[in-house]
Structure 1
Amino acid sequence: MRPRLTIFDEPLLYTEGLSKLLGQSGIFTTIDICNCPEALKLLLKDDPPEFLMISSNMLIFTDLYKSVENITSANKSIKIIIIGSDFDIIDIRKLFNKGIKSYLDKNSSYDEFIKSIQALLLNEIYICDHAKDRMINFISNEQDQSKIHIKDPLTRREMEILKLICDGYSSKDISEKLFISINTVETHRKRILLKLNVKNSVGVVKYALENHIID
């Protein structure tokens, strides 16, 4: 029996075009389009599809992560495909840990999208070539580099922000959660990077993992 697909994305012109292309492929029995969270929530409650494509156009990463967690908790059989915006490898790992079955970047082609669908039909997982190459490089760097040692200990506030960075929160999210300005968050971020001697949030997460600050 052919599965059903729901596309959660915008703009409508793009989603309708993709729906017609996929309709010609004959892979799915029906293809529904949702372009607001309320419509998606209602559909998942009343008649959940077998396949669900979610674009990062619709949600910031923290909300996307929570949505995946909620969807997979309630509907374990749904195969979720994420169309990301060149997400960090750590973030991609988090999404797979929460139950997504496929990750594609925005530069992935239609043919690669079809390849991912075919993999999911075989109960396999799929990660696009672009993200796969970055993941291999990331793992290689992890193996080559020794543990990070810091000269100055992190303050309690810096440690709090470090944990939020590892959870995928943006500076805006952190400022709202801790009731501090974005400028203050950015100042803390710079100090954390300096103390850990890393260049970006990936280095921060590596430090946290290696020192068992997060699992």
Structure 2
Amino acid sequence: MANIRVAITDDQVLFRRGMASIINTFENISIVLEADNGRILLDSLQNFEPIPDVVLLDLSMPELNGIETTKLLHVHYPSIKIIILSVYGEDRFVTHLMELGVNAYLFKNVEPEEVERAIRTVIDKDFYFNEAFLNAMKNRLTNKRQKITLTDNIPSTLTSREMEVLSLICKQRTAQEIADQLFISVRTVDGHRNNLLEKTGARNSAGLVLFAIKHRLIDPTELL
């Protein structure tokens, strides 16, 4: 198994170094870069080879916060998976960050085992959703008045095969697992996924799941 390279960005030095020490104990996972804020992270990445596979990113930082850093990472380093580590548990923070295209959102009080699971899952399946996120989405759908938007008719443009692929993505199946279940090639699965991304405007698989939940194509409780 290839080593997973991780960067961690957090202005709380004690938390950052403690988390780095924990992550370095995970098998085939290592911290290759530490930064105090998003600006230092981006400056460091300019001459960093090979770039990290995953960035653990604090939401509230000086200089450049997690939201702005996420946007810039998408532009300059789209292959990097982004896991937000935050003390903010409000539903609006969770769903907003997922809409921006992060691959996972974890609260800072999670167990180390969940951090490891999230890192491995975003590498393997592009996103990691835990119970906290899915409950946040359920709450948002329950409490927020639904607005009519130009995207409301998007689900009707999806083919039956695209809907099948979307459903399996939501269940965190890998491309190979989807291909095996639908008796198609991985290349065909990737084609359907790319079509889904284009039609929905999602940035990644996490965005596709968010789209499916928001349009009530899948119940978040089914994913728990």
TM-score normalised per structure 1: 0.58
Q: Which has the higher contact order (CA 8 A, sep 6+)?
A: 2
Residue aligned with 2:105, SS: strand
2:196 maps to none
2:138 maps to 136
% of aligned pairs identical? 19
1:4 maps to 5
Residue aligned with 1:20, SS: helix
RMSD: 2.6
2:155 maps to none
User: How far is the alpha carbon of 1:42 from its aligned partner?
Assistant: 1.7
Q: Spell out the pairing of 1:40-79 with structure 2 (5 A cutoff).
A: 40-47=41-48, 48-59=51-62, 63-79=65-81
Contact 1:72 1:98 in 2 (8 A): no
1:25 maps to 26
Contact 2:95 2:136 in 1 (8 A): no
Encode CA deviations 1:100-147: one digit per residue, 9 max, x unaligned: 1010122322222122112112123123322322221222334xx688
Amino acid at match of 2:6: L
Alpha-carbon spacing, 1:121–1:46, altered in 2? closer, same or farther (3 Å):
same
Q: Do residues 112 (structure 1) and 125 (structure 2) align?
A: no
Structure 2: distance between partners of 1:34 and 1:7: 6
Q: Runs in 1 of length 4+ with deviation above 6 angstroms?
A: none
Structure 2: distance between partners of 1:59 and 1:88: 21
1:150 maps to none
Q: Where does the alignment leave 5 or more consecutive residues of structure 1 unmatched?
A: 148-215
Encode CA deviations 1:143-176: one digit per residue, 9 max, x unaligned: xx688xxxxxxxxxxxxxxxxxxxxxxxxxxxxx
1:127 maps to 129
2:93 maps to 91
Alpha-carbon spacing, 1:27–1:139, altered in 2? closer, same or farther (3 Å):
farther
Q: Where does the alignment leave 5 or more consecutive residues of structure 2 unmatched?
A: 148-224
TM-score normalised per structure 2: 0.56
Deviates more, 1:92-101 or 1:47-56: 92-101
Encode CA deviations 1:5-45: one digit per residue, 9 max, x unaligned: 11101332322222122111123244321114443122222
Deviates more, 1:70-79 or 1:100-109: 100-109
Amino acid at match of 1:94: H
Q: How many aligned positions are there?
A: 144
Structure 1: distance between partners of 2:19 and 2:31: 13
Alpha-carbon spacing, 1:64–1:18, altered in 2? closer, same or farther (3 Å):
closer
Alpha-carbon spacing, 1:22–1:51, altered in 2? closer, same or farther (3 Å):
same
